[in-house]
Amino acid sequence: MKERRAIGEFVRGVSSARNWIRKNDGGDDDGGGNCRYPPANGRYHLYVAYNCPWCHRVLLARALLGLEDAISVDVLYPNRSSNDESSGPNLWKFCPEGQVGMNGQHTQFPECTEDSLHSKRYIKEVYELAGIDDQKTVPLLFDRETNTVVNNESADIIRMFATSMTPFHTTLPSIDLYPSDKADEIDELNDWIYKEVANGSYKAGFSSNQDVYETAYQTYFTALDRLNTILATKKYLTGSTVVEADLRLFPTMYRHDPIYYLRFKLNAKYLWEYKNLWRWMGDMISLEGMESVSNARYLAHCKQGYFGRTWNGTIPIGPGGYPECYKNREWPISKN
């Protein structure tokens, strides 16, 4: 990992808390024959940042499955701590009052909260309270009852929400994000979408090595071509209903035109140039529950997070029409 970073490649860290919410099946035993983290309503709490795509896909699962009442949430500020803060730089923080950014403007987001459980300032302090000293990432799924971190791997959290928290799903008709008859297909999609698209976009955007960037760039757009072909004959990635793989793809596609095209230098094509992917985006963003996790306010957090802490810190005003245009299948025509 150090060697790859040394040559300018972006390398994502590894999640360390990998416990599982499950029924009493012998896993994660508490010592008394019971599962340490059983499914429960109101017991678990999420810490997220809207601009983080890994948090985004967890929030998508929470919203689409109707788990808002069962899983509470706190929202971090889209920019992290600076060098002049006593805690040190690059830490996710609670900052509902807003702050002055690199562009000299004070920016406040009404969606940002305090730490409602512990009144901490930084997410690192929440980890430390739970006995974990080397982590500072989100999303973080926290257990109110034991004051411990359940899990900080977004893929695990999505799967738990979909399969272990089913008694608390409220969306009707119900959504099965991980149907058993499509499990292998979903796992295969998840694997290459993560490598080539979700994490692949970051490899392009944060690489300081030209060769690494160009390889990630080509891989990314080859993957978009592949996705566009898949969606030529399917409404969603595996058929007529939305599944986990769709949720894991959405955050990157949502950010591509208004953010990644410029910030990550992924500028071969706009998303609207992919007919089937664009139609899929419209179907996804129109699903019940999606409004709160894909509206213009959500995009504002994303822009602040990606542009407000790098380059010169200025936040782009455009491109106009996003994210509302995702529902417009004639957008390239109507735009002109």
Residues assigned a catalytic role: 52, 202
Nearest to 226 by CA among 312, 218, 42: 218
Cα torsion 47, 34, 155, 69: sign = negative
- Residue entry with tokens 């689409």: 64
268 touches 217 (CB < 8 A): yes
Tally Cβ neighbours within 10 Å of residue 129: 16
Strand ranges, E, within 84-130: 99-100, 106-107
Tally Cβ neighbours within 10 Å of residue 184: 9
261 touches 253 (CB < 8 A): no
The strand pair at 99-100 and 106-107 is best described as antiparallel
Q: CA 196, CA 199: separation in Å to the nearest integer? A: 7
First to last CA, the chain: 46
Nearest to 125 by CA among 156, 149, 157, 101: 149
Peptide bond into 258 cis (omega under 30): no
70 touches 165 (CB < 8 A): yes
53 touches 198 (CB < 8 A): yes
- Count Cα neighbours of 43 within 13 Å in the Cβ-side half-sphere: 16
